Amino acid sequence: MKKLMNDSKNIVEEMVEGYVKAHPKHIKQVPENGRALVTAKETREEKVGILVGGGSGHEPGFMGYVGAGMADGVAVGNIFASPSPDPILEVTKNIDKGAGVVYLYGNYAGDVMNFGMAAEMADLEEDIEVGMALATDDVASAPKAEKEKRRGIAGEFFIFKAAGAAADFGYDLNDVVRVANKANENTRSMGVGLTPCSLPQTGEPSFELGEDEMEIGLGHHGEPGLEKGPLESADSVTDRLVNDILADIEINKGDKVAVLVNGLGSTPRMELYVMFRRVEQILSEMGIEIYRSYVGDYITSLEMGGASVTLMKLDDELEQAIDHPVDCPMFVQK
Amino acid sequence: MKKLMNDSKNIVEEMVEGYVKAHPKHIKQVPENGRALVTAKETREEKVGILVGGGSGHEPGFMGYVGAGMADGVAVGNIFASPSPDPILEVTKNIDKGAGVVYLYGNYAGDVMNFGMAAEMADLEEDIEVGMALATDDVASAPKAEKEKRRGIAGEFFIFKAAGAAADFGYDLNDVVRVANKANENTRSMGVGLTPCSLPQTGEPSFELGEDEMEIGLGHHGEPGLEKGPLESADSVTDRLVNDILADIEINKGDKVAVLVNGLGSTPRMELYVMFRRVEQILSEMGIEIYRSYVGDYITSLEMGGASVTLMKLDDELEQAIDHPVDCPMFVQK
């Protein structure tokens, strides 16, 4: 597949260089490690630091979410691969303001290992307290009884948003972790894949699907989903996604939710809004209130075609968190 | 090509429905015409109204740019087709606060005709004064001596931004038109196409290119560009685009510019930031200051692959306009 790139070996470094050059008032590299990016703005002493991270190729996730109201720093991995412990540790040292640092990342084996190692090093070598919260929002990736085995996908956005707000509110480390975990417990996502992306290094498609096929529950790195079949109408696909979510988490009449209809990279906004329209119809018929809506590319997989629906059930605390303003290079909320 | 849609005949109506439902605090439909959308917020009396519009399929352009600091309303056309005069007139009536309305749109025959007719109707039937400013930023679309024949592409974003700010500053109709025209005079774009999009109605690709080909100067609706050839490196492509811009407009050492690296729909942010990196290198070597940067999907062509570079040369007035905060559903600037 065609890419606007130079040597594929340098694409992540060149992206990071462009990113830092484009947003110098927002973000800077830690001198010790080019894959360690932190906010360029002054952070309050005693604020709990928020560190996000994961593989590249999911932009705006994860580097796009560093800024006021969300994360203080990001560790940047290779494409679809966890960052190593070094940049995680460098970000940790840089953003610790005496109140510790919370790591937020998706539940993938490489991330679990590397963020875990970095947390140990932060504790032993730097005496920095680290808390962790994993995103496990992807309903398709494991049965309900084994939620702790599920992967994190677009719902990561809500978890970052909630924890970032909690840290800004002045919550301590345990309370920020509690809010992040509550956000994750209350969040469910279901996705559909239509067309693959390709890695710059290989040019090979990340999965195969027929000309008129879709795959329900396909993962963000092309992990197999629940079911392949002929592409259905937007309403029918949206019904499947929302029904699977509602079968997995109790959301009742009178409850409030935040909704994210997320594009995977090459799905036009037009199609995402057609899907949102159907989500709104379903929830409105059930008497569930949509408190806030996000429609667009929030966590992508390069140029993959497809979309996901995410619902986060809100209580007063999460409602306040979701309302909190944000000022990041790739996401601003007033 | 695969689309998440229902009946293709209804896709624009369903998108608009989803859009209004997703952002009820920001946007509403004018009761008389479903293709006429206006800001849901109270607008100051005597503020000049800003109306944008054009075909659908360019989201966030144009409906995404209605909100505080940018447009007061949008007339929504069919996919890649001008809106008819009716929704333009309905928006005009709705957003006129006694100081007249300025129409901002790209220089395409259909738009010129329909916006012109609506302006006449607004004058004759409603006694509303209308000003107009056309975007002609696409360097590839006509020779320098015939700038008035050029098409509008991603630079429309800067023109909307500048004129929206001017109206917010309390400028009168003539001054808003003057600022919009100055923004257009100071703005140049050059694009490259890699892969086509397809219209929902036909499923046919909007143009044809070989497996390893690119097309420099390709238009936003697949209009032929200047040159087809083998895909080059990101740096080489960016050099071509920036050089063509700098050959067309005098920007010298010490000048300030706003930069937009715009994705056409399916180009990952990773590639756009790699391109931005090169734009920054070129300008920095020339001693041209990048005052503000925008990197992402600002004016798209459904799922087209490719990107464009836009430079707007700034003076004090445009600098102030580009800094002005914006709160739209698809674009927020603090």
Closest by Cα among A125, A104, A248, A126 to A179: A104
pLDDT digits (tens, 9 = 90+) for A265-315: 999 999 999 999 999 999 999 999 999 999 999 999 999 999 999 999 999
Closest-CA residue of A relative to B325 is A334
Residue A23 known to be catalytic: no
Whether B64 contacts chain A with CB within 8 A? yes
Does position B6 have pLDDT exceeding 90, yes or no?
yes
CB contact under 8 A, B275 and A19: no
* CATH topology for the B187-322 domain: Hypothetical Protein Tm841; Chain: A;domain 3 (3.30.1180)
Q: How far apart are CA B60 and CA B58, in angstroms?
A: 6
Check if B222 contacts A (Cβ < 8 Å).
Answer: no
Q: Quick check: A236 and A300 in contact, CB under 8 A?
A: no
- Please tell me the distance in Å from B206's CA to the nearest CA on chain A: 15
Mean pLDDT of chain A: 97
State chain B's mean pLDDT as an integer: 97
Q: List the beta strands (DSSP E) in chain B.
A: 27-30, 33-39, 49-56, 73-79, 101-106, 130-135, 187-195, 213-216, 227-230, 256-263, 289-296, 305-314, 326-328, 331-333
Residues of chain B with pLDDT > 70, as a percent, come to 100
Mean per-residue pLDDT, A182-194: 98
pLDDT 10s digits, A142-170: 999 999 999 999 999 999 999 999 999 99
Task: Report the pLDDT averaged over residues A194-198.
Answer: 96
- Give contacts of B234 with chain A, Cβ < 8 Å: 3-6, 14
**Closest chain A C-alpha to B12 CA, distance in angstroms:** 8
Domain B10-186 indexed as CATH 3.30.70.20: no
Q: Per-residue pLDDT tens for B243-268?
A: 999 999 999 999 999 999 999 999 99
As given in the structure block, the two tokens for residue B230 are 């083998």
Tell me the C-alpha distance between B303 and B282, whole Å.
Answer: 29
* Cross-chain residue pair B233–A269, CB shorter than 8 Å: no
Domain ranges of chain A: 8-186, 187-322
Q: What is the pLDDT of residue A256?
A: 98
Which pLDDT does position A23 carry in this prediction? Answer: 98
CB B141 within 8 A of CB B217: yes
Using the Cβ of B274 and the Cβ atoms of chain A, whether some distance falls under 8 Å is answered with yes
Tokens 């560093």 correspond to what residue?
Answer: A66
Q: Supply the pLDDT for residue B1.
A: 82
The sign one gets for the Cα dihedral B136, B138, B139, B143 is negative
> Angle, nearest 10°, between helix axes A85-95 and A109-126?
50
Average pLDDT estimate for B164-192: 98
Question: What is the predicted pLDDT for the residue at B77?
Answer: 98
Written as six digits, the tokens of B189 are: 């774009």
Cα B230 from chain centroid (whole Å):
28
**What digits encode the pLDDT tens for the residues A74-103?**
999 999 999 999 999 999 999 999 999 999
CA distance B267 to chain A (A): 6
Q: What is the pLDDT of residue B213?
A: 97
Closest Cα to residue B248, out of B169, B145, B95, B112? B145
B280 Cβ under 8 Å from any chain A Cβ: yes
Q: Which of A3, A4, A26 should be substituted to probe chain B, the one whose Cβ sees the most B Cβ atoms within 10 Å?
A: A4
Q: How far is A205 from chain B (nearest CA, A)?
A: 15
Cis peptide leading into residue B62 (ω within 30°): yes
Q: What is the mean pLDDT of residues B194-215?
A: 94
In this predicted structure, the answer to whether residue A1 has a pLDDT above a threshold of 90 is no
* Tens-place pLDDT, residues A11-62: 999 999 999 999 999 999 999 999 999 999 999 999 999 999 999 999 999 9
pLDDT score, position B31:
95
pLDDT for A51 equals 98
- Between chains, do B18 and A233 touch, taking CB under 8 Å as contact? no
Three-state SS for A198?
A: strand
In this complex, do B2 and A234 lie within 8 Å of one another by their Cβ atoms? no
Contact call for B234 and A60, based on CB within 8 A: no
Contact of A54 with chain B, judged by CB distance below 8 Å, is answered with no
Overall average pLDDT of the B27-46 stretch: 96
Long-range contacts of residues A278-285, Cβ cutoff 8 Å, at least 24 apart: A278/A234, A278/A235, A278/A238, A278/A239, A278/A242, A278/B18, A279/A238, A279/A242, A279/A309, A280/B18, A280/B21, A280/B22, A282/A238, A282/A239, A282/A242, A283/A242, A283/A257, A283/A259
**What is the pLDDT, as a whole number, of residue A85?**
98
**A8-186 under CATH 3.40.50.10440, yes or no:** yes
Main-chain dihedrals φ then ψ at residue B218, nearest 5 degrees: -55, 140
C-alpha B249/C-alpha B269 separation (Å) is 27
Q: Which residues of A touch B295 (CB under 8 A)?
A: 18-19, 22
Size of interface A-B (CB pairs under 8 A): 184
Question: For residue A197, what are the CA distances in angstroms to A156, A261, A265, A320?
Answer: 21, 19, 9, 36
- Do B10-186 and B187-322 share a fold? no
Residue B219 confidence class, pLDDT cut points 50, 70, 90: very high
Q: For this structure, is A221 an active site residue?
A: yes
| Annotated active-site residue in B23, B26, B58, B220 | B58
The ipTM (two decimal places) reads 0.98
Taking CB atoms and an 8 Å limit, are A273 and B4 in contact across chains?
Answer: no
